[in-house]
C-alpha cells in the first residue's frame, strides 16, 4: 500500500463552525470495508455474567499490528468514526477490533451490566487477550478516549508490556468540566440527545427511577452513581476522570482535540500532567468540533489519516510534542 496517499498534513476545515463540524462528523458518509475485510462478531466474557461484543477484522496478509477501538457515549462499534478508521487501518495492514461498551450496539440486552466513563475493566481484559500475539494500539473516541487514557495510566510501568501506544480523540478527560460545558445553553441539544439515549438503554435493566430526567448529570446522579457505588455524580466525575492518572502513563500517547470543541473545553488540556509527561503528545487543533475534523480537501476524513500517520511514526523521537496546527 502507498501509505503516502494517507499523509494528513495540516487540517483545513471544510467549515469552521464547531457545531457544523460536529454534525458533519456524525453524518458524513464513511467508507465501509466489510466487503473487502469481512467482520467477525466475537463475544468476550470479561467478568462473570458480563459479555461484550467485539467486531474483528483482519487485513490481507500478515497483520503488522492491531488496533483496539473504543467508541463514545451511547455509541457503538458501528459509529462512523470507528468504521472509517477501521477501513483505513486495514488497508494499511493492521488488524482491527471494534469493541462495544457494556450494553451498547448489538450487545444491548445481552450484557447484563451498565458502563461508565471510567470503567476500564473490559478494555483491560481485551488488551491482555490481544497482547498474547503482540501489544495492540488503543484508540478511544470521546468517552472512549477517557477510558483509553485512564487505562494507560492504571497500567503505569507495566504499560509498555501491554500496549504499543494510546490515542485519545475529543476525550472528556475532566468529566466534571465537560458535563458543565454540555449544560451550557448552546449545548443543550447534545445534553438532551444523550440523556434520551441513556434513559432508553437503562430502562431495560429495571429498578431505576427515570422519570423527568433532563440532563446527563441528572442521569449520572440518579443512575450511574448509585449503580456503581459513587456518592453522587460529582464523586463519579472526580474519581473516574483520566486527569488523575495522566502522570503515570508510560507508553507513547497522542491526545487530539479541537480548541472549539463544544463539549470538551480546551482549558482542560492545560493540565501540568500533560506538559510534564514526555510520553504524551498533545495536538490541539483550532477547528474541528467534537469528533468532526472533516477537511476541505483530501484526505476528507483527515482524522483517520492523521492517526495512522502518527502510529506509523510513534516509535521515532518526536521533537514537537505540543503543537497547535
Q: How many beta carbons lie within 10 A of that of residue 12, not counting itself?
A: 11
Residue 194's contacts (CB-CB under 8 Å, 6 or more residues apart) are 73, 74, 182, 216
CA separation for the pair 85, 91 (Å, rounded): 10
Residue 71's contacts (CB-CB under 8 Å, 6 or more residues apart) are 77, 79, 81, 82, 98, 99, 100, 101, 104, 141, 142, 143, 144
CA separation for the pair 150, 137 (Å, rounded): 15
Q: Tell me which of 142, 170, 241, 257 is the catalytic residue.
A: 142
- Say whether 290 is catalytic: yes
CA separation for the pair 178, 213 (Å, rounded): 18
Q: Tell me which of 221, 260, 261, 304 is the catalytic residue.
A: 261
Q: Tell me which of 71, 116, 287, 290 is the catalytic residue.
A: 290
- Say whether 170 is catalytic: no
Cell of 37: 475485510
- Rounded to 10 deg, the angle between the 143-155 and 121-130 helix axes is 60
- Say whether 241 is catalytic: no
DSSP-derived letter for residue 319 is S
Q: Which residues are catalytic?
A: 142, 261, 290
Amino acid at each position: 500500500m502507498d501509505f503516502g496517499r494517507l499523509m494528513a498534513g495540516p487540517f483545513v476545515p471544510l467549515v469552521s463552525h464547531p457545531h457544523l463540524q460536529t454534525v458533519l462528523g456524525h453524518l458524513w458518509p464513511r467508507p465501509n470495508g466489510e466487503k473487502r475485510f469481512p467482520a467477525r462478531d466475537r463475544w468476550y466474557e470479561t467478568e462473570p455474567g458480563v459479555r461484550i461484543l467485539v467486531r474483528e477484522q483482519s487485513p490481507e496478509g500478515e497483520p503488522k499490528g492491531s488496533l483496539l477501538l473504543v467508541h463514545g457515549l451511547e455509541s457503538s462499534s458501528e459509529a462512523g468514526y470507528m468504521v472509517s478508521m477501521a477501513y483505513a487501518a486495514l488497508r494499511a495492514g493492521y488488524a482491527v477490533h471494534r469493541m462495544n461498551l457494556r450494553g451498547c450496539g448489538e450487545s444491548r440486552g445481552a450484557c447484563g451490566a451498565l458502563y461508565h466513563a471510567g470503567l476500564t475493566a473490559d478494555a483491560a481484559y481485551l488488551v491482555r487477550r490481544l497482547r498474547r500475539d503482540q501489544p495492540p494500539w488503543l484508540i478511544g473516541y470521546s468517552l472512549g478516549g477517557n477510558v483509553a487514557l485512564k487505562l494507560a495510566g492504571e497500567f503505569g510501568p507495566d504499560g509498555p508490556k501491554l500496549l504499543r501506544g494510546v490515542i485519545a480523540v475529543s476525550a472528556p478527560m475532566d468529566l466534571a468540566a465537560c458535563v458543565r460545558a454540555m449544560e451550557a445553553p448552546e449545548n443543550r441539544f447534545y445534553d438532551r440527545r444523550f440523556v434520551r439515549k441513556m434513559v432508553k438503554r437503562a430502562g431495560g435493566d429495571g429498578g431505576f427511577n427515570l422519570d423527568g430526567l433532563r440532563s446527563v448529570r441528572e442521569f449520572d446522579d440518579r443512575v450511574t452513581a448509585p449503580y456503581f457505588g459513587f456518592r453522587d455524580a460529582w464523586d463519579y466525575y472526580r474519581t473516574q476522570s483520566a486527569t488523575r492518572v495522566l502522570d503515570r502513563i508510560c507508553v507513547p500517547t497522542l491526545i487530539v482535540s479541537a480548541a472549539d470543541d463544544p463539549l470538551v473545553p480546551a482549558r482542560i488540556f492545560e493540565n501540568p500532567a500533560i506538559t510534564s509527561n514526555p510520553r504524551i503528545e498533545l495536538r490541539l487543533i483550532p477547528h474541528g468540533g467534537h469528533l468532526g475534523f472533516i477537511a476541505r480537501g483530501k484526505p476528507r476524513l483527515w482524522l483517520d489519516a492523521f492517526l495512522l500517520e502518527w502510529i506509523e511514526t510513534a516509535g521515532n523521537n518526536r521533537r514537537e510534542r505540543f503543537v497547535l496546527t
